């Protein structure tokens, strides 16, 4: 299962010099050269789906977000439990690789129908359990909140969100659309955390959204 | 989390002498005195829910099912990720305690609405990932298939299913309703596995239902 998952997980082409380097070195360079001193919280955004789950990791510097990584976890064509396991293990692997301390995930108010809501719920459950098992704090945001945080308007379309994500994170190439949505969720989570805290200082217990089953 | 989960997981009052004894001794007695020689596969049934997840374990002797354990995992009133983690850890704990090799779970065709389907899907995703992480084979059954297997008719109500579960497993007290449903799913899974196999001999790869996301 682990090897199957590894072949199915893809990362977007990084845009900065730092992100073209090995991860540990990239982290050092980001810390030393690219970021101002202050709060530097690693934030994970997850856009869950029954076929593709997007992920995006940004570093909240206290003055803005810096791109760390993004990509998507493709569940393939196996049986349900195998595909949910790919989501679960994929999210855990992303967390173990990049070390975020907090996770934002898209909240779904209206699915097309009960069947698609059930499928989305299953993938969402697998992703949330993965975050919980890695001891991350988890918050959820509606699509409108994410668009508002990234573009300034809740009515933006996917392309506008993608363009603003590229602009804000100084990306020179387009991320895959699910990865871009995940980065937008991470940015939204960073903004909401900052706006709720005095002097922009984050704590592990602060949340932008409250999650209820 | 583990202690919270333990307090929330309850088992039904056992009905047989063997089930009132410590688990390991119960297993020995079941094996030596209560069961005919032949196939003795331990089967787990799961009835997932956003508030209560029922579980039931039966032993398929090749001539029928013998009660092993049942109960429910209550998710309490915490945040979503805590509640999903309780389902995930609870199902894993049941598997580690009783050692089933295969798991049946109720398939949902029609939820009341998209919102309830999403909630159910999340709990279902957590339960399925737990089974997959414990390397169980997993099959799903519709409510009609479960009723048909237990009562002989797909139109039976919950009380009729509960009465038949008590009769088939020789229980002297009523299991909690979600636990009873889980036992019915386990019985259905046992029947379907047996009917698909020559001479009723089970193999690890045989499935009654095929799962697709």
Could you give the percent of chain A with pLDDT greater than 70?
71
List the single best residue of A73, A79, A133 to mutate versus B (max B Cβ within 10 A).
Answer: A79
The whole-number pLDDT of residue B74 equals 97
Read off the pLDDT of each residue in A67-88 and give the average, rounded to a whole number: 96
- A116, A129, A211 member nearest B126 (Cβ): A129
Cα–Cα distances (Å) from A207 to A137, A182, A194, B45, B168, in that order, read 8, 18, 10, 36, 50
Residue A40: pLDDT above 90? no
Q: Once rounded to an integer, what is the mean pLDDT over residues A88-117?
A: 89
Q: How would you label A148-161 residue by residue, b for 16+ Cβ within 10 Å and e otherwise? A: bbbbeeeebeeeeb
How would DSSP label each residue in B107-151? --S--SSHHHHHHHHHHHHHHHHHHHHTT-EEEEE-HHHHHHHHH
> Is the pLDDT reported for residue A1 higher than 70?
no
- Spatial distance between the Cα atoms of B32 and A100, rounded to a whole number of angstroms: 52
Task: Using the predicted structure, report yes or no on whether residue A201 has a pLDDT greater than 80.
Answer: no
Which residues touch A90 (CB under 8 Å, ≥6 apart)?
A: A5, A8, A9, A53, A55, A73, A130
Chain A residues near residue B90 by CB distance under 8 angstroms? none
Task: Among B81, B124, B131, select the one facing A132 at the smallest CB separation.
Answer: B81
Tens digit of pLDDT per residue, chain B (213 long)?
333 333 355 665 444 433 443 444 334 333 333 444 345 899 999 999 999 999 999 999 988 999 999 999 999 999 999 999 999 999 999 999 999 999 999 987 666 778 888 999 999 999 999 999 999 999 999 999 999 999 998 888 888 999 999 999 999 999 999 999 999 999 999 999 876 654 433 333 333 343 333
Residue B74's DSSP bridge partners are B52
Section A170-197 average pLDDT: 90
pLDDT recorded at residue B58: 98
For each of the domains in chain B, give its residue range(s) and CATH number, in order of start: 2-212 (3.30.420.10)
Mutate to test the interface with A, among B80, B91, B107 (most CBs of A within 10 A): B80
Q: Tell me whether residue A205 is exposed, middle or buried, using C-beta atoms within 10 angstroms of its C-beta: 0 to 12, 13 to 18, 19 or more.
A: exposed
Three-state secondary-structure class, residue A152 = coil
State the pLDDT at residue A31. Answer: 39
The torsion angles phi and psi of A159, rounded to 5 degrees, stand at: -70, -40
Does residue A108 carry a pLDDT above 80? no
pLDDT bucket at A12, cuts 50 / 70 / 90: low
Q: Is B115 a catalytic residue?
A: no
- Tens of pLDDT along A111-166? 677 888 899 999 999 999 999 999 999 999 999 999 999 999 888 888 899 999 99
Average pLDDT over residues A55-68: 95
What's the whole-model pTM score? 0.78
Contact criterion met (CB < 8 Å) for B81 and A138? yes
């Amino acid at each position: 299962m682990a090897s199957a998952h590894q072949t199915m997980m893809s990362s977007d082409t990084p845009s900065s010099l730092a992100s073209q380097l090995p991860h540990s070195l990239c982290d050092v360079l980001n810390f030393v050269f690219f970021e101002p001193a202050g709060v530097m919280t690693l934030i994970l955004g997850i856009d869950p789906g029954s076929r593709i789950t997007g992920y995006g990791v940004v570093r909240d510097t206290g003055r803005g977000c810096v791109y760390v990584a993004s990509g998507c976890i493709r569940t393939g064509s196996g049986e349900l439990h195998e595909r949910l396991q790919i989501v679960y293990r994929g999210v855990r692997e992303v967390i173990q690789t990049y070390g975020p301390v907090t996770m934002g995930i898209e909240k779904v108010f209206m699915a097309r129908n009960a069947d698609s809501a059930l499928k989305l719920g299953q993938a969402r459950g697998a992703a949330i359990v993965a975050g919980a098992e890695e001891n991350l704090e988890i918050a959820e945001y509606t699509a409108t909140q994410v668009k508002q945080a990234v573009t300034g308007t809740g009515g933006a379309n996917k392309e506008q969100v993608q363009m603003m994500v590229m602009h804000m994170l100084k990306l020179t190439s387009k991320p895959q659309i699910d990865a871009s949505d995940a980065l937008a969720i991470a940015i939204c989570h960073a903004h909401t955390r900052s706006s709720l805290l005095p002097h922009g200082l984050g704590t592990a217990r602060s949340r932008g959204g409250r999650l209820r089953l």
